[in-house]
Amino acid sequence: MAKKAEFPAPWRLEGSGVIIFFPAHKKNVLASPALGSENAASFRGGAGAVMLVHYEKADCGPYDELLYIPGFFEHDNKTYMRITKIFVSTQESVEWGRRNWAIPKELADFDWRQGEKEWHIDVKQPKTGNNIYSISLSPRFFNFPITTSFLPWSLLQKQEEKYADGEEFYLETKLNGKGSAKICFIDRVEGSREFPDYHDMSYGPRIAVAVNPFEMTFPVARKVR
Predicted confidence (pLDDT) per residue in 21-43, tens digit: 999 888 989 988 888 877 999 99
138-to-6, 146, 187 alpha-carbon distances in Å: 37, 18, 7
Q: What is the pTM of this model?
A: 0.96
Q: Residue type at 163? A: Y
Give the CATH H-level superfamily of domain 12-224. Answer: Acetoacetate decarboxylase-like (2.40.400.10)
Pairwise CA distance, residues 136 & 16, whole Å: 15
Question: Does position 1 have pLDDT exceeding 80, yes or no?
Answer: no
What is the DSSP-derived secondary structure letter of residue 5? P
| Tens-place pLDDT, residues 176-203 | 999 999 999 999 999 999 998 888 888 7
Domain coordinates of the chain in residue numbers? 12-224
Averaged pLDDT for residues 89-93: 98
Judge residue 69's burial from the number of C-beta atoms within 10 Å of its C-beta, 0-12 exposed, 13-18 middle, 19 or more buried.
buried
